[in-house]
Structure 1
Amino acid sequence: MKVGVLGGGRMGAGIAHAFLLAGCEAAIVERDNASADAAAHRIRDIIARSIDRGTTDRGADELNAALSVGHDAAAFATCDLVIEAVPEDRAMKAEALSRIERTAPDAAVASNTSAISIDDLAAPLARPDRFLGLHFFNPVPASTMVEVVVGAATAPAVVDRARGWVEMLGKTPIVVRDSPGFASSRLGVALALEAIRMLESGVASAEDIDRAMELGYRHPMGPLRTTDIVGLDVRLGIAEELQASLGERFAPPALLRRLVAEGKLGRKSGEGFYTWERPGQETP
């Protein structure tokens, strides 16, 4: 199986890496040479770390031989599946999907969107029957599920194939009908926004709010630390999308807007609700 990924950022590289470890070929396409070079460095670093950690018994030469990274979408022509993994922006995703459809006429096409309607994204496509959502979680290697989002026009056979692809990765497919925020983002953002409001109003510290969910409800990670890992800018974008469709209960708190405006995006920037000194270590 050959899988294409449009966008080689953290998510795109993680998705390509997951398929490589499952024995597939992977083609990452970026917007230009500089971005492609950065993406190549990113995924080769991920491959090296997975080998060092013993999460694969395949060698670097074998994995890198199954990988191509460039800026020419013609690489998608022979793919069985192409996934767009560009930022959570409607216009960017629409352009990305149009580019994929032009260059991969026979492939199933998926969006990694975490909140944008699959039916809205499918509307301009010539073949909406082969389109669906595959919502991977960050970080991809550590996540154990993928949300399979079914649009009104998605063919049942494509849904069945998508379930199989997710299981091939060693992850569990969760199948949901297209709706605002699907299942995971809608529930996750609702909890995160309330936690941010509690922090904003001084109910408790970030650490204690997180501990309440970790110790009281057995969540593996609290909502504020999770938001730091996901990215405050990503959470803000999803909240705005949900606010537009579901109402003011998803209105982003002023604290979230302020932190994003200040560039405090969480782990990727080094500071969010926690200060991240290095991966895996943070302080409130």
Structure 2
Amino acid sequence: MKTIAVIGAGTMGNGIAHTFAQSGFTVKLIDVSEKSLEKGMATIAANLDRMVTKGTITEEDKHKTIGNIITYTDIKDGVVGTDLVIEAATENVGLKLQIFKQLSDVCDHNVILATNTSSISITQIAAQVVHPERVIGMHFMNPVPIMKLVEIIRGYSTSDEVTKIIMDLSVKLGKTPTEVNDYPGFVANRILMPMINEAIETLYNGVAGVYEIDTVMKLGMAHPMGPLQLADFIGLDVCLSILNVMYDGFKNPKYAPCPLLVNMVMAGKKGVKSGEGFYDYSESKKAEKVSKQFA
């Protein structure tokens, strides 16, 4: 396996492309938006620069990594000659099903098709494809170049051979693959999202403030990041989508999104990506922090 296509140049897509390219694979990064591709490549370059500064990689490693990535705005052109396609588009069921229907039409039948979905049924996605046994979940964690875990999700039809190939491939990337079965939220988000949702409920009910809730979980439970700050980094819209998938899948009220989360997403407060969520990430706030440091 030498050539990988990644669909989606957003946070997860560019992180996956970065990781494969740094490991020596030829990566075809695909996004319908040229602007998104430019932003994704700029993010990869900035992340590589940080690694050079820290001494993790050399300047030569950085240039090789960037040189391993080719960008495309057309899926049909981008998947030509690939051994594996990883879909990393927005966590939207309709969009993912549409992409996999297209992949079924334009990819050779021996190409493995993976999805980076964090909650949507692999079996449902595979049903859109000729030879569903080649469809598998590869749920990378954010930030992809740093986080070691890859949740490998087998759909109902996923073959043993494909599972082994993807498990072995993940190890070659320096990751720790963990095989799980296909149920809403899998393992990571089935446990994480109810915790985040409960933290939002705690805020909503006036038990404590944002800072206090996160401080309790960081200092009391040894979490590196509080649940509300983590929600901001994941994206509040993504958290809402995952909770809705789990609620629809289990029909259990414990997965129902907190009204505060629903309202914040409707108001455009999506966390880091929008500049504001439970915390303020706006440029004015950043400037204020800098001015205080040098006061």
Query: TM-score surpassing 0.5?
Result: yes
Report 1:149-228 matches (<5 A): 149-228=153-232
Aligned partners of 1:262 and 1:142: how far apart in 2? Answer: 32
Task: Give the secondary structure class of the aligned counterpart of 1:226.
Answer: helix
Residue 39 of structure 1 contacts residue 69 of structure 1 at CA under 8 Å; is this kept in 2? no
Matched length: 279
Match of 2:68 in 1: 66
Match of 1:86 in 2: 89
Which of 125, 133, 147 lines up with 1:143 in the alignment? 147
Match of 1:25 in 2: 26
Matched, 1:99 2:102: yes
How many angstroms does 1:32 deviate by? 4.2
Aligned partners of 1:30 and 1:95: how far apart in 2? Answer: 14
Aligned partners of 1:9 and 1:35: how far apart in 2? Answer: 7
Q: Which amino acid aligns with 2:92?
A: D
Match of 2:293 in 1: none
Q: Which amino acid aligns with 1:17?
A: H
Match of 1:265 in 2: 270
Match of 2:52 in 1: 51
Aligned partners of 1:37 and 1:195: how far apart in 2? Answer: 36
- CA shift in 2, pair 1:217/1:256, >3 Å: same
How many angstroms does 1:233 deviate by? 0.4
Aligned partners of 1:80 and 1:272: how far apart in 2? Answer: 39
Segments of 5+ residues of structure 1 without an aligned counterpart are: none
Mean CA deviation greater in 135-144 or 84-93: 135-144
Match of 2:114 in 1: 110
Aligned partners of 2:74 and 2:253: how far apart in 1? Answer: 42
Q: Which amino acid aligns with 2:263?
A: R
Q: Which amino acid aligns with 2:190?
A: R
How large is the Cα RMSD of the aligned pairs?
A: 1.7
Aligned partners of 1:157 and 1:95: how far apart in 2? Answer: 26
How many angstroms does 1:221 deviate by? 1.6
Aligned partners of 1:248 and 1:221: how far apart in 2? Answer: 26
Residue 104 of structure 2 contacts residue 128 of structure 2 at CA under 8 Å; is this kept in 1? no
Structure 1 vs Structure 2: percent identity of aligned residues? 35
Match of 1:251 in 2: 256
Segments of 5+ residues of structure 2 without an aligned counterpart are: 290-295
How many angstroms does 1:255 deviate by? 0.7
Residue 82 of structure 1 contacts residue 107 of structure 1 at CA under 8 Å; is this kept in 2? yes
**Alpha-carbon displacement from aligned partner over 1:191-227 (angstroms, at most 9, x marks no partner):** 0111100011111122221222222222222211110
Q: Which amino acid aligns with 1:127?
A: H
Q: TM-score, normalised by structure 1?
A: 0.92
Task: Give the secondary structure class of the aligned counterpart of 1:146.
Answer: strand
